[in-house]
Homo-oligomer: A and B are copies of this chain.
């Protein structure tokens, strides 16, 4: 179950400290002009090691196209994209080899599989998203031909909302050996009416699944989201005028189908579970032990989650665009 999408089907592979991470895209239409130059910029935006605010792990994340592109054009065949891992300090993890890091998937993976690649979280690492982002970049290239664009931004970090406050907060938290959460918003503009399928292929359902499937995300809202719980219907309905909808409380989706307005999604991002402070946990033998999570970590994952969330939104939309073409 490592595949997203049924039309533009994206299968990621790879572990944080294995030889490589990557992705296979099955279903990208033929005759799309595509080169690594279309993919690398989005990868660079999620790349670690670019500022004091992110983990010190230094990866160039250079992508290679292994298949599906011929003379600069997609052929309709699967597009395999590969990124070799380079700056792996697997030794950092020896101390916690047998300990379950609180807030991480160590315990659940160990219980589920009876084995666990403990180096940097293995498959559960955020590094897996390299594949999603690479695929998302291809999706964005394809969507741009339809006039569809996706943008993300930080709404708040620990309640702070200005760039300056947010940077200060993250640095302070980093110095304290702690981490902090926040909220991000992703918007898709230019979507036609009609994307999404009743009943189990609703666009908002697909978006919620895609967003909640990003590690660290604990909440998803479409349009006005939780605010609707305090509204009257007369306030919340988007009335229609000659030129379209007079408002967009619905976040661009009605009955699971895009309305033509901007598609607006917000996600709640938890504080990175890897913190330097001492915590209580268990080891694989059942003993309660202290743990100090070493290695190199992001004090706040919100900035680096933006390109991932953009990629996921793009993947959901491209899938719906292709699905919709079946009925035209």
Contacts and interface: CB of A to CB of B under 8 A. Distances in A.
B219 A199 contact: no
29 contacts: A1-B197, A19-B64, A19-B67, A20-B67, A24-B24, A27-B326, A30-B327, A70-B117, A74-B115, A75-B115, A75-B123, A77-B117, A105-B256, A107-B240, A109-B198, A109-B257, A111-B193, A111-B194, A158-B230, A159-B229, A199-B213, A205-B209, A205-B210, A212-B222, A218-B221, A218-B225, A219-B222, A221-B226, A239-B281
Contacts of A6: 6
Most buried by B among A14, A107, A222, A288: A107
A180 B233 contact: yes
Interface in A217-248: 218-242, 246
Contacts of A257: 105, 108-109, 111-112
Work out how many copies of this chain go into the complex.
Answer: 4
Interface of A: 1-4, 6-7, 9, 11-15, 18-22, 24, 26-27, 29-31, 64-68, 70, 73-80, 82, 100, 102-105, 107-109, 111-117, 122-124, 128, 156-159, 173, 178-183, 193-194, 196-202, 204-213, 215, 218-242, 246, 250-251, 254-259, 268-275, 277, 279-282, 286, 288, 322-328
A221 B268 contact: yes
A259 B256 CA distance: 31
A233 B271 contact: yes
Given A1-B201, A75-B115, A128-B198, 16 more contacts: A7-B326, A13-B79, A14-B66, A77-B117, A107-B259, A112-B324, A123-B198, A157-B229, A178-B232, A178-B234, A205-B212, A205-B213, A208-B208, A229-B269, A233-B270, A241-B288
B199 A204 contact: no
Contacts of A18: 66-67, 70
Nearest to A1: B201
Contacts of A235: 271
A140 B205 CA distance: 22
A255 B327 contact: no
